[in-house]
Amino acid sequence: MGIKLKFNNIQKHFFGVTALDGVSFEIEEKHTVGLIGENGAGKSTLMNILGGVLLPDGGNMSLDGDAYLPSNPRDAAQRGVAFIHQELNLFTNLSIAENIYINSFPSLKKTPLIDKKKMNDSLKSLLKSLDLNYSPSTTVENLAPGERQLVEIAKALHSDAFLIIFDEPTTSLTARETEKLFTILDQLRSEGRTIIYISHILGEVKRITDDVIVLRDGKVTGNSETGLIEIPEMINQMVGRESDNLFPERSAKPKDSPILEVKSLSQPGIVGNVDFSVHEGEVLGVFGLMGSGRTEMARMLFGVDTYRSGSISIDGTPLPRNSPQSSIERGMAFVTENRREEGLLMNVAITENIGLVSLPDYCRNLVKWVDAKRMNEEAGIIGDSLKLKASDIRRQPAMSLSGGNQQKVVIGKWLMTKPRLLIMDEPTRGIDVGAKYEVYSIMDRLAADNSGILFISSEVEELIGIADRIVVMSQGEVVKVFEKKDFDVTALMAAAFREAVA
Amino acid sequence: MKDRNWQRFILKNTTFILFVLLFLIFGILAPRFLSFKNLEIILSNSSYIGIIAVGMTFVLLTGGIDLSVGSTMYLSAVSSGTLIAAGWPIAPTIAVSLLIGIAMGYVNALIITRLKIVPFLATLVTMTVGRGMGLFVTKSVQVDFPDSITLMSTVKVFGFIPLQIFIFGLVVILAMVFLRLTKSGRQLYAVGNDPLAAERAGIQTRPLITSTYVISGFFAALGGFISITQIGRVSAGFGSGDEFDAIAAAVLGGASLMGGVGSVFPGTVLGTVMIQMIQAGLVYTAVDIYLHPIVMSLIIFFAVLLDSVRTGQLKKMERRTIMKITS
Amino acid sequence: GSDKADDGITIAFCFQDLETEFWVAGHSAITNTLEAQGIKVIEKNANEDANRQLEQVKDVIVQGVDGVIIIPQDGESAVTIAKECNSAGVPIGVFNRPPADKSADALVVVANNEAIAEQAVEYIAQEAMKLGRKVTPAIMVGDLGDPNAVGRRKGFYNVIDKYPDLWTGAPIEIPTKWDSNTALANLQSAMQANPDIDFLFTSSDFLYPVIKSVLAPLGKWQKIGDDSHILLAGLDGDKTACSLQKDGYVDATGVQDVYAEAQMLLDAMLAAIEKGEKTPNEWLYDDGFALTQANMGEREMDMWGCKILAGE
Amino acid sequence: MSKVDQLNTGRVGNVKILGRKILLSEFFVLYLTVFYLLVLFPFIPRVFSPYNIKNVLSNTWPLLVIAIGQTFVLITAGIDLSQTSVMALSSIFGAVIMTSEADPALLSKSPLWGIMLSDKGGLFAGTSAALPVGLLVMMAIGIMIGLINGFSVAKLRMPPFIVTLVSQMFFAAVAIWLSKSENIRHLPESFSRLGRGNFGPIPIALIIAVIIAVSAHLLMSRTLYGRRLYATGINPRAARISGVPTTKIIIAAYALSGFCAAVGGILYSARLEQGRPTLGNTLLLDIIGANVIGGISLAGGKGKVLWTVFGVVFFIFLSNTLNLLNLKFFVIDIVKGLVILLAAILDVVRSQLALRYSGGKV
Ligand SMILES: Nc1ncnc2c1ncn2[C@@H]1O[C@H](COP(=O)(O)OP(=O)(O)OP(=O)(O)O)[C@@H](O)[C@H]1O
Ligand SMILES: Nc1ncnc2c1ncn2[C@@H]1O[C@H](COP(=O)(O)OP(=O)(O)OP(=O)(O)O)[C@@H](O)[C@H]1O
Ligand SMILES: [Mg+2]
Ligand SMILES: [Mg+2]
């Protein structure tokens, strides 16, 4: 088999940060290659160069044996390279079909008009194969994040590219969708396409790739056949040290006194009769399939969305409806699942982002003078404790961080409020193993300090690893609450599918 | 279920329903208002600003703005006036004046896409310079147009459609087809929604943005010409302030200044015609002229309020239902 | 503030805009007369902004002009600007719109909008009486923020109120905002809503092309004497009005004599500069007149528009 | 850059560094204005005469105050087109309260006649309370209109452009209707002093403008409100979830804009010594233009008071010099447009350089 793609000494610097420092490796044709590395290791940057989004500062590439240097995404597409970005790249005001066909609309019998029927018909089976049960003419605005990610995938599958890049495609997908995606990847491979697959979930990488490339600080630190390398070794190559524990030991046991009590919360069509409580020192996991209503429930709890009936109380006192501000005053914190749109002020400095929620705590006197110095210091400390990888956190905008580090900023801004109850919606999505461990440790520390944590996740393993109890939701209702002793992957999955629950 | 569909229908068409209601209310207050002739007059008086507003919609869709349309109208009208006075035949004169519109649009586009100057400033510049150049030509003296031009406003296409309404209709249909059914049209929405993502998706944003300003300039010149056929005279203030009317019509029709949202039909057309209709209604019902703008702005405010309530309600209705519908 | 190096006289001419023929005529009357006498003219256009005009006048004072002539946006701002000139010791002439009061010293030429409108409308009233039936009057009102428009509307109403029995009802008011397109739309609506309108007064002559384009398709653009003729009167006295009146479409035109006004003002101004007066104070009156079908013979050449027409 | 490097690059390098510093400086628009004036100086030496400087500055203050109000709204990604009618309406109300005589021939048709206005003047005619009450009412009107705008935008979720366009139409018409198109004169001397008087050697208008500019600057850059204002402008959804009361922030921004417009209206009315129903109706593009030239983004989240100040100064000097140059009126438009274009181009070059060099520093 020939060489599909060759990187030779690729360099890329941003504002003094070295993102790629002489990256060289080759990818064999028809292989599926895993690309792994810590947050900020340079994976997305390398792919952006490959996809024509960025130009390298030095080095060269060759594709199919010819020199290759795309100056924009169109060039890349013409050379048969398709790219599913880490950040969703969809037009929310257009339909699914239009997003997929955005650059290749079929025309109606030699007129300049679009053949809508053809376009929509041709996609029906594709969407079905992805379990995306929407008409192709549905506007993307109406889709949940996970569903949007499926559209991105559909977009790449639909192109006839022979080199397809997946940059963390499963971050918004649950187990079932991920399985689906893997079947599709298999199919692509059998069609003879070459795939680059970036993920922080090393199990996935181990399972589906032929080769693994490891990046650390912009350099290649590992390059081997997947069969010849085990996960601990991958981690070793990624972080430069051994690590056997994926989850920290829980340092304290939950108390009996409840912090959050939710009683028959309902909103017609969305959630119904949700009852549960989070206790002091407890990590309460929430599991469910995509679209099971976990996010919506969390948003109601925090006061972002309205609900029709039921009660939410913190420390025994009911919470006013629909006011994130008073939720925060009562000690709640909320890491949303959508960091780009709801988590960060993208072009604002990192410290400002971290300080945003706790601003009132750094204000003096009547005019609410902000003590910027003190705030920046504290934000810096939080940043350090999260091992945030940035060159100058007072000036650098959040936008310039790697995906995982952005997530850390979001978590950081809530940690700064020293929350009593922290709601985390898919907080480990897109962050590397090391950072995940840190997030779990943070949860543990908070719990040990008597805070409560509501931890929404689609990864059963991490819930089992860190939660004290797990609530399983399906179709907007709480199906079952599992005690720690009953934790079991199959039982949890079964509950999520509502099998044998009755 | 039926109920819900009705609700949805009403919500989707509130602006149109309000339009019809207003028409009826004015009709009750002044029965002559309900005539076919009146409708024709309203449409005919909407056409020139409507055409400009259609062009403006294109620009707004990409998140831009075109303040120069009023000056473009003036400059191109002044040129055609000068050419006619110099003895040019009508057809090439019209062609030249439209070309001037295209040229102004192209200059806007160059300043915006090549020099990377924000649309507001870029078109503010062409607005002042354009007006200055027009004044340079006329020395502020009004330009009168011969009957051969003004008689065009009485031409009926197919024997019953007034020329200006016909052209307006044509512009609307073409624009609608372009925006809804062509590749460039859909890509325009994409660019307005997220320019960075559009770039990444491989869309050629620069020619697209250029085209919107060219279209806007062209329609400004065309609208200006339609206006001349109706009023026969171009004085130094011709077109000034029309940029705001055009933007207002488009925004009333639902276009967003942030880009990505808006439609030519019903949106902008309804916005334009609605303003014209209220204006006519106020004259029909003989409201004290000091109160005209007051009543007009209250009605527009109400229309926009209704629209935002409706959008909120629609969003709520279209929220996905997660729970299984039991029973 | 005259620190000028050369001996020539410099006069600043600050006008508020040149959007209609009337203002263009006023502008050329003043500049041509001045330049013919070898006087240097600095021109400033305030684009209908009283404040900008104040700023421009201050700017020309800085330049050490010998005199300032303004066409103010309105009477009140004229007072303020005149005071500015008084304190700088520069003679000021105010053209066409009189200062609201006499607290500042200025050379003022006044045309009385209200009176002129009244004269024109009075003629129509007399004509209407001859018809032996009631007449339905309508007025095209200018921009309500412009004092000229308001004065003309008042003059119109003075006559309407004087002959209450002559009219079928209250006049129909048609807003124009001094904008042709608005005027077109509203006149069309008004004619549709009140097909029996048979007397139309336009607050400015510049709207005649619009009036024609609305009335013609209705068959109402007819010469005097025709049964469907609508009594027409306007105000300004421009070229179009003159030719329409000659052709027998327009019954009467309120005229302010822009040339005579310019001459009066300039004479007074130059005399003051000659004498070294810094704050001359004198009011000169132009009562205007109405050029009607009845007095066309004698007074035609007193209307500036007719002079322009004849000159072409 | 190390010391040795600096020595080696020598004078050429120093000039380059200075050039770069100027280009990258926040004061760029100010430097640009100064440069522009220096270029013009040989042609119009009067530009630096004390009278002219005084004149230019006196034109600056009111516009500055109004433009700063606009800045608040622009930062929220909104726009306030109603500022001009705030000026007009507050001008009329202030005059109605303060005027010492009203001519029945002119004003008896006003809806306020007999209620707030008679031939003896306004409600507080001639009393010492006239000035303070008049000023308070004027500012209250500005704030009130701002609150209505803000409420419609933030609470009723209506688009800012159309909301403020409608309120511009509405309140401008109300001002004209209430005064039946007439200007109202005979305002107290103490009021006119605000526009043209001095406090010692310093014009009162300057003091007012500086107080407002400095407070606005501090408010935006140092206080909780300011931080939250930017956050709201950049990403309202993220801000709301982070506990920023975005609704209140936006409403306050519009109220501030209305307030500033009213203060501008006070200064302009005082200068013209009259209540004018059409005050400021042509000022809108200057207000927004000065902001945009200063670098404030219409897309929200970006801007500083200092930038607005420079933008206003640039605009005022531009029209002042064009006046002094004695160009034909139609040439003025052309030149004005081209100078703005040039300034805008330089600003683009500048921000691109800034992007490039900010990397060098870290
Ligand atoms: N536009 C940019 N401006 C400045 N720095 C950038 C930019 N893009 C990336 N970087 C920096 O380059 C480095 C590599 O980032 P990259 O996004 O490639 O990481 P990654 O491996 O994809 O991480 P993750 O797993 O978190 O997505 C990081 O330090 C990041 O901060
Ligand atoms: N039709 C829709 N219109 C707008 N937003 C929607 C719609 N459907 C879902 N969403 C949004 O998508 C998000 C996810 O929805 P939901 O809560 O049902 O999923 P979940 O159980 O959290 O699973 P996941 O987060 O994995 O998608 C929520 O923020 C919700 O508001
Ligand atoms: Mg990445
Ligand atoms: Mg979710």
Domain residue ranges in chain D:
39-357
Spell out the domain ranges in chain B.
46-274
* Whether the predicted pLDDT of A441 surpasses 50: yes
Reference A286, options A423, A193, A89, A414; nearest CA is A423
Amino acid letter for position B294: I
User: Partners for B (CB, 8 Å, 3+ pairs)?
Assistant: A, C, D
pLDDT, tens only, A9-54: 999 988 767 889 999 999 999 999 999 988 888 999 999 999 999 9
Mean pLDDT, chain D, whole residue set? 86
Closest partner CB to B182 (pick from A89, A114, A476): A114
* Cβ neighbours of residue A197 closer than 8 Å, sequence gap 6 or more: A32, A33, A34, A35, A166, A169, A185, A204, A205, A208, A209
* Whether the predicted pLDDT of B1 surpasses 70: no
Residue C111's pLDDT band, with cuts at 50, 70 and 90, is confident
How far away, in angstroms, is A320 Cα from ligand 3 center?
39
SS3 for chain C is: CCCCCCCCCEEEEEECCCCCHHHHHHHHHHHHHHHHCCCEEEEEECCCCHHHHHHHHHHHHHCCCCEEEECCCCHHHHHHHHHHHHHHCCCEEEEECCCCCCCCCCEEEEECHHHHHHHHHHHHHHHHHHHCCCECEEEEECCCCCHHHHHHHHHHHHHHHHCHHHECCCCEEEECCCCHHHHHHHHHHHHHHCCCCCEEEECCHHHHHHHHHHHHHHCCCCCCCCCCCCEEEEEECCHHHHHHHHHCCCCEEEECCHHHHHHHHHHHHHHHHHHCCCCCCEEEEECCEEEECCCHHHHHHHCHHHHHHHHC
D241/A352 CB distance under 8 A: no
Reference A153, options A133, A125, A176, A132; nearest CA is A132
Residue A55 to residue A22: CA distance in whole angstroms: 14
* Cβ neighbours of residue D268 closer than 8 Å, sequence gap 6 or more: C51, D62, D87, D91, D195, D279, D280
Burial class (CB in 10 A: 0-12, 13-18, 19+), D105: exposed
Strand ranges (E), B119-251: 143-144, 156-157, 161-162, 233-234
Q: Which residue has the tokens 């507080």?
A: D124
Residue A110 to residue A106: CA distance in whole angstroms: 10
Residues of chain C contacting residue B48, judged by C-beta atoms under 8 Å apart: 181
From A467-471, B283-287, B307-311, D85-89, the region with the lowest mean pLDDT: B307-311
Output the pLDDT for position A244. Answer: 63
Structure tokens at B130: 């354009």
- Measure B175 CA to nearest chain A CA, in Å: 13
From A445-449, D19-23, D307-311, the region with the lowest mean pLDDT: D19-23
Residue D361's pLDDT band, with cuts at 50, 70 and 90, is very low
Cβ proximity of B64 and B243 under 8 Å = no
DSSP code, position D154? I
Residues of chain C contacting residue D323, judged by C-beta atoms under 8 Å apart: 44, 55-56, 59-60
Q: Is D359 on the interface with A (CB under 8 A)?
A: yes
Residue D326 to residue C64: CA distance in whole angstroms: 13
Output the pLDDT for position A17. Answer: 78
Cβ proximity of C266 and C30 under 8 Å = yes
Mean pLDDT, chain C, whole residue set? 88
At A310, is the secondary structure helix, strand, or coil? strand
Q: Which residue lies with its CA nearest to atom 4 of ligand 2?
A: A142
Mutate to test the interface with D, among C41, C42, C62 (most CBs of D within 10 A): C62
Residue A236 to residue A37: CA distance in whole angstroms: 10
The residue among D2 and D179 whose pLDDT is bigger is: D179
Read off the pTM: 0.88
Counting other chains too, the contacts that D156-159 makes at CB distance below 8 Å and 24 or more residues apart are D156/B305, D156/B308, D156/B309, D157/B308, D157/B311, D157/B312, D158/B304, D158/B305, D158/B307, D158/B308, D159/B251, D159/B256, D159/B257, D159/B304, D159/B308
Cβ proximity of B228 and B98 under 8 Å = no
How far away, in angstroms, is A442 Cα from ligand 4 center?
21
In chain A, count H helices and then E strands.
Answer: 16, 22
Residue A282 to residue A285: CA distance in whole angstroms: 9
Cβ proximity of A416 and A376 under 8 Å = no
Q: Is D221 on the interface with A (CB under 8 A)?
A: no
Distances (CA, A) of A20 to A202, A399, B278: 22, 18, 63
User: Measured on CA atoms in the order D265, D271, D274, D280, is the torsion positive or negative?
Assistant: negative
Q: Which residue has the tokens 């009486």?
A: C129
Residue D59's pLDDT band, with cuts at 50, 70 and 90, is confident
pLDDT, tens only, D192-220: 888 878 888 888 999 999 999 999 999 99
Residue B244 to residue D282: CA distance in whole angstroms: 13
DSSP code, position D151? I
Q: Percent of chain D at pLDDT above 70?
A: 94
Residue C303 to residue C296: CA distance in whole angstroms: 10
Output the pLDDT for position A242. Answer: 63
Reference C19, options C204, C167, C193; nearest CA is C204
Burial class (CB in 10 A: 0-12, 13-18, 19+), D47: buried
Q: Which atom of ligand 1 is nearest to the CA of A404?
A: 26
Q: Which atom of ligand 2 is nearest to the CA of A296?
A: 17
* Cβ neighbours of residue D105 closer than 8 Å, sequence gap 6 or more: none
The residue among B117 and D57 whose pLDDT is bigger is: B117
Residues of chain A contacting residue B182, judged by C-beta atoms under 8 Å apart: 112-114
B296/D169 CB distance under 8 A: yes
Q: Percent of chain A at pLDDT above 90?
A: 45
Residue C48 to residue C70: CA distance in whole angstroms: 12
**H/E element holding A350?**
helix A350-355
Closest partner CB to B45 (pick from C17, C188, C190): C188
* Whether the predicted pLDDT of D6 surpasses 50: no
How far away, in angstroms, is D192 Cα from ligand 4 center?
63
At A13, is the secondary structure helix, strand, or coil? strand
Residue C204 to residue D272: CA distance in whole angstroms: 28
Ligand approaching nearest to the C-alpha of A170: 2
Output the pLDDT for position D5. Answer: 44
Structure tokens at A43: 């994976």
Q: How far is CA D18 from the centre of its chain?
A: 31
Residue A493 to residue A238: CA distance in whole angstroms: 31
* Whether the predicted pLDDT of D160 surpasses 90: yes
Phi-psi region of B216 (alpha: psi -120 to 50; beta: other; left: phi over 0): alpha
What radius of gyration do chain C's Cα atoms show? 21
Give me the interface pTM, i.e. the ipTM: 0.87
Residue A403 to residue D99: CA distance in whole angstroms: 65
Q: Is D289 on the interface with B (CB under 8 A)?
A: yes
Residue A170 to residue A51: CA distance in whole angstroms: 20
Output the pLDDT for position C3. Answer: 42
Q: How far is CA D169 from the centre of its chain?
A: 20
At A425, is the secondary structure helix, strand, or coil? strand
pLDDT, tens only, A268-277: 888 888 999 9
Mean pLDDT score, C31-50: 85
* Whether the predicted pLDDT of B146 surpasses 50: yes
DSSP code, position A136? T
Mind giving me the DSSP string for D4-25?
HHHHHHHHHHHHHHHHHHHHHS
* Whether the predicted pLDDT of C5 surpasses 80: no
* Whether the predicted pLDDT of D91 surpasses 70: yes
Cβ proximity of B207 and B183 under 8 Å = no
Residue C1 to residue C223: CA distance in whole angstroms: 57
Output the pLDDT for position B323. Answer: 64
C193/B227 CB distance under 8 A: no
Output the pLDDT for position A61. Answer: 94
Distances (CA, A) of A142 to A88, A475, C233, C245, D161: 15, 18, 62, 67, 26
Mind giving me the DSSP string for B256-297?
-TTSS---IIIIIHHHHHHHHHHHHHHHHTT--GGGHHHHHH
At A34, is the secondary structure helix, strand, or coil? strand
Distances (CA, A) of B308 to C77, D51, D252, D300: 42, 52, 21, 21
Q: Phi, psi (5° rounding) for residue C276?
A: 75, 15
Mean pLDDT score, C136-143: 95
Residue B284 to residue A34: CA distance in whole angstroms: 74
Q: Phi, psi (5° rounding) for residue C286?
A: -120, 105
Residue C175 to residue C202: CA distance in whole angstroms: 10
User: Partners for A (CB, 8 Å, 3+ pairs)?
Assistant: B, D
Pocket residues: Cβ below 6 A from ligand 2: A 142, 144-146, 174, 288, 290-296, 337, 458; B 318-320, 322
Ligand approaching nearest to the C-alpha of A292: 2
Residue A430's pLDDT band, with cuts at 50, 70 and 90, is confident
A368/D230 CB distance under 8 A: no
Residue A69 to residue A107: CA distance in whole angstroms: 31
- Measure C256 CA to nearest chain B CA, in Å: 19
Output the pLDDT for position A460. Answer: 86
